């Protein structure tokens, strides 16, 4: 990996399509997007931290397996934190909290962290995590605004606005993420998003 991940350039969600399952499923509101983004970023950071420490000693197949186990462990931690301190958010994210365990963002990011320097692994994890969380929050905000006429729960559009309900539904989420990626590519240019996630 070349360490070119960024918050704006080469955004892990909008350019690489990492972690798209929750990006479509739970981003019906800005708060959900933010919560999911931060939870995933936290698990990614911890996974990168450990993989940066021990990853160098593992071969490629073992790296994937260890990353997966670490990711599952930190997803469990994320679930406990959400359940204990943010029960309402935990309920609205639902089954997608445990599914952080198989987020392709963490599986790719963690595997890449192995074998790089410890500092580089942390920095990369941090940048990828923040980039992902920012993209998730933005997508959630757009879908909430279109689908409900609110921003973080506060009504911001005039009462006459008839919400575009589809924006908050699965079909609308898939289309809006696709369009967001297209816009992102148009604005930031693209080097073909030829990267495969898991």
Partner 1 sequence: MKLNLNPAPHVHSRQDTRWLMGNVLIALLPCCVAGVVYFGVPALMLMAVSMASAVLFEALWQKLCGRKLLIADGSAAVTGLILALNLPPRAPWWLAVMGSAFAVVIVKGLFGGLGDNFINPAMAARALLLASWPKFMTAWTAPSGLDAVTSATPLMTPAAWTPLELFLGRIPGCIGETCKLAILAGLAWLLITRTIKWHIPVAMMASLCLFSWIFGKDPVAAALSGGALFGAAFMATDYVTCPVHPAAQMIYAAGAGLVAAVIRSYAGYPEGVTYGILLMNAAAPLLDKCFRRRVYGHGREAAK
Partner 2 sequence: MSNLTRALLFLVSCVFTQNFVFVRLMGGSALLKKAGSVATAAIVGGYTALVMAVSAALNWIVYKKALVPLGAKSLYLVAFAAVALLSAWLIALALKRVSPRVGKALGENGAALAVNCAVLGASLIGMGGGIVRAALTGLFGGLGYLLALVLLAGVQERLEFSRVPESMKGLPISLVSAGLIALAFMGFIGL
98 near partner 2 (CB under 8 A)? yes
| 1 near partner 2 (CB under 8 A) | no
Residue closer to partner 1 by CB (options 107, 139) is: 139
For residues 96 and 19, the answer to whether their CB atoms sit within 8 Å is: no
Using rule CB under 8 A, residue 68 touches partner 2: yes
Per the CB < 8 A criterion, the answer to whether 43 and 71 are in contact is yes
Rg (CA), the chain: 17
DSSP 8-state assignment for residue 153: T
Residue 182 near partner 1 by CB under 8 A: yes
Q: Candidates 84-92, 118-126, 155-163, 170-178 — which segment interacts with partner 2 by CB under 8 A?
A: 170-178
Backbone angles phi, psi at 150, to 5 degrees: -125, 165
Handedness of CA 78, 71, 30, 162 (dihedral sign): negative
Please tell me the distance from the alpha carbon of residue 43 to that of residue 22, in angstroms, as a whole number.
14
As measured in angstroms, the least distance from the Cβ of 24 to partner 2 is: 5
155-174 residues near partner 1, rule: CB under 8 A: 162-167, 169, 171
The answer to whether 131 and 6 are in contact (CB under 8 A) is yes
Q: Is 151 in the site for partner 1 (CB under 8 A)?
A: no
Q: Does residue 187 touch partner 1 according to CB under 8 A?
A: no
Phi and psi of 76, rounded to 5°?
-60, -40
Q: Is 8 in the site for partner 2 (CB under 8 A)?
A: no
Selection from partner 1, partner 2, none that 193 binds (CB < 5 to 8 A by kind) is partner 2
Which one, of 6, 50, 25, lies nearest residue 177 by Cα?
Answer: 25
Q: Which two tokens stand for residue 14?
A: 């909008």
Q: Which does 118 bind (CB under 5 to 8 A by kind): partner 1, partner 2, none?
A: none
Tokens read off for 37: 């983004």
Q: Which does 28 bind (CB under 5 to 8 A by kind): partner 1, partner 2, none?
A: none
Residues making contact with partner 2 (CB under 8 A): 17, 19-21, 23-25, 61, 64-65, 68-69, 71-73, 75-76, 79-80, 95, 98-99, 101-102, 104, 107, 166, 169-179, 181-183, 185-186, 190, 192-194, 196-198
């Amino acid at each position: 990996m070349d360490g070119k991940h960024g918050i704006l350039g080469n955004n892990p969600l909008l350019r690489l399509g990492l972690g798209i399952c929750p990006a479509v499923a739970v981003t019906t509101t800005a708060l959900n997007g933010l919560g999911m983004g931060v939870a995933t970023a936290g698990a990614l950071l911890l996974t990168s931290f450990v993989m940066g420490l021990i990853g160098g000693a593992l071969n490629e197949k073992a790296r994937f397996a260890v990353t997966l186990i670490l990711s599952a462990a930190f997803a469990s931690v994320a679930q406990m934190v959400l359940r204990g301190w943010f029960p309402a958010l935990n309920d609205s994210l639902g089954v997608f909290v445990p599914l952080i365990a198989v987020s392709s963002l963490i599986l790719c990011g963690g595997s890449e962290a192995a074998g790089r320097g410890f500092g580089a692994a942390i920095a990369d994890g941090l940048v990828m995590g923040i980039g992902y969380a920012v993209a998730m929050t933005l997508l959630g905000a757009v879908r909430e605004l279109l689908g409900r006429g609110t921003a973080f729960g506060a009504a911001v559009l005039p009462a006459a606005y008839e919400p575009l309900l589809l924006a908050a539904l699965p079909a609308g989420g898939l289309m809006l993420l696709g369009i967001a990626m297209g816009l992102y590519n148009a604005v930031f240019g693209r080097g073909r998003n030829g990267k495969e996630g898991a």
